[in-house]
Chain A
């Protein structure tokens, strides 16, 4: 059995209008740039994107924004793409801002079968408005619901054909979490190997989380994003 898909369009056929899509990465670092590029070429609308940022202006998810394919974005730091502010100002996108740790933990909870959890982060601030508050052992917490998606697109370093994944340095970030929290998970990777070639002790994402694997063709380099192997 192999989860490898040669064709990006084919791998992304599970993404439908109005879907919730999780996208890994911290800005462009660890973002599934090849799959994002695939979404820019796909006829799809009304997406809710869950990702720390919306790429940068004209890069990564920033392209999807300017194609008006994003209805809503859930993230922690949209500041990195100045165009998001313009779209928001014009009422063309809905934004939900969460503290970065809350975004990460909500995705973790979604993948772990939890309904939500209580956190101290944000208590007493504007971001706690409308959220249930509860005191536990004398400390105030707010409730945060878990987050799940229809599809997660993520970036890893190496995969075996079963779908076991390892990551590369700070390109790991949200990717292993998102791998657990969507109905369909597509990973793009630099290198594909046979089962047994990855050290079992080093595998970060076990294969049961991963549905499809594609070869990364858009690579982040010192000089910016370049396209390989085409």
Chain B
């Protein structure tokens, strides 16, 4: 696998293929944010929890410091966009009006539980909108590198970090493979080009079916 950026873009590009309009999608911070540039369907509407439906890219010259996404990065306003307050934004999420959320994780396990907000032994400083998105988004897609920086699998038998929700995610996309979560078990549905089943097995701690 090439450099980090290529790896992240490969994952983001694959995730974008899951989005067919008309639908409303919330993108998390990190790899999920990259998904936006690979979406080709004009009827995929991006929601950001800080209060905008209709997020688009922005050119450097057009940056407005008061127009940002949930990662506080500058964004643009699509034609037909709408602004709303934080309570309404999360009512949209919990109220199941958002079709899909794409999120990063620290860990995901073979039941589809994820951990993406706290690390044991460190101060717990932030949760943001992660828990709300897990309970509310109709479909949750995880985009993550298959292994952590030290080479350990991020797809585990059981999360060792505090979980974000008791709800299972629906799909896991990494630079090596795509898994679907069916009845709290992982099913390998796709390998990325050039990836062998042996490599997926070697780098996945979780049990999965093929």
Contact = CB atoms under 8 A, between A and B. Distances in A.
20 contacts: A26-B51, A29-B50, A76-B127, A76-B128, A78-B126, A85-B125, A99-B129, A99-B131, A100-B86, A100-B129, A101-B49, A104-B87, A120-B135, A121-B94, A121-B132, A125-B166, A127-B131, A169-B66, A169-B77, A172-B83
Contacts of B78: none
B66 A101 contact: no
B66 A173 contact: no
B127 A169 contact: no
A169 B86 contact: no
A137 to B, nearest CB: 14
**How many A residues touch the partner, as a band?**
35 or more
Interface of A: 26-27, 29-30, 52, 76-80, 84-85, 88-89, 95, 97-105, 107-108, 119-127, 167-177, 204, 220-222
A97 B49 CA distance: 17
Given A125-B162, A170-B83, A177-B85, A104 B90 contact: yes
A29 B66 contact: yes
Nearest to B77: A169
A97 B126 contact: yes
Given A100-B49, A170-B83, A76 B90 contact: no
User: B interface, by DSSP: helix, strand, loop or mixed?
Assistant: loop
A208 to B, nearest CB: 17
Nearest to B65: A220
A76 B70 CA distance: 12
B163 A125 contact: yes
A52 to B, nearest CB: 8
Nearest to B67: A169
A173 B135 contact: no
Contacts of B72: 26-27, 29, 80
Given A100-B128, A121-B94, A175 B85 contact: yes
Interface residues of B, number: 41
Given A29-B72, A105-B90, A176 B85 contact: yes
B64 interface: yes
Interface of B: 48-52, 63-68, 72, 77, 83-87, 89-91, 93-94, 118, 123-132, 135-136, 162-166
B185 to A, nearest CB: 19
Nearest to A224: B65
Nearest to A125: B163
Contacts of B84: 172
A101 B132 contact: yes
A51 to B, nearest CB: 11
Contacts of B125: 77-79, 84-85, 88, 95, 97
Contacts of A27: 72
Given A171-B66, A174-B86, 10 more contacts: A29-B65, A76-B128, A97-B126, A99-B130, A104-B85, A107-B87, A125-B162, A170-B52, A170-B83, A173-B50
Given A29-B65, A77-B127, A123-B166, A170 B94 contact: no
A120 to B, nearest CB: 4
A52 B77 CA distance: 23
B15 to A, nearest CB: 23
A176 B87 CA distance: 9
B118 A126 contact: yes
A103 B65 CA distance: 24
Nearest to B49: A100
Contact of A170 (B50, B129, B135): B50
A188 B140 CA distance: 39
